[in-house]
Amino acid sequence: MLLGLLVGGWLLPGPRAVGSVVFDLQTLLYAALALLIGFQSASFATCAKVFAISEGLLPEDPRLTKVFQYITLEVGLIIGLVLMALGLAGSIGALGMWSQKAFGDLNPAHTLRLTIPSVVAICLGYQVMLSSFFLSVLRMKRR
């Protein structure tokens, strides 16, 4: 996830060359994929650990308990909504770029540098919200 974020941030301004190899939009797209897969993996691992703790399969984790003091359902929902709003703002910006071209052909090298992060932000925001709901359900105490 971190690697995807770093590579994506490095490629946002434009293509980057390392020696004779040029990294561009395709690499940006794979960096976005790495970020999404990384988040899903971390989210799954956290949910699995919370479930295992709640079922008595694993002992309590003091670090996880401390994190959940700060990362609540409400915080997750706010973070998710902010990410989705940023993605929507970027999408509206891309629509504005298209409007300036009279809804004709666009230069993908410029447009995709805005639309790829926008789509990732919307997707991540939604995943953060769903993960927050699921974690809050897993942490409920049963009678």
pLDDT at 109: 85
Residue 143 forms part of a structural domain: no
Q: Please name the residue ranges forming H helices in the chain.
A: 2-11, 25-54, 62-70, 73-100, 108-138
Structure pTM? 0.90
pLDDT at 42 over 70: yes
CA distances from 45 to 29, 98, 137 (A): 24, 40, 16
Residue 142 pLDDT level (bands cut at 50, 70, 90)? low
pLDDT at 107: 87
pLDDT at 51 over 70: yes
pLDDT at 143: 53
- Domains in the chain, number: 1
Q: How far apart are CA 111 and CA 109, in angstroms?
A: 6
Residue 7 forms part of a structural domain: yes
Domain with 117 in it? 2-138
pLDDT at 108: 87
CA angle 29, 114, 18 (to 5 degrees): 50
Structure tokens at 55: 């079922």
pLDDT at 24 over 90: yes
Mean pLDDT, the chain, integer = 94
pLDDT at 70: 92
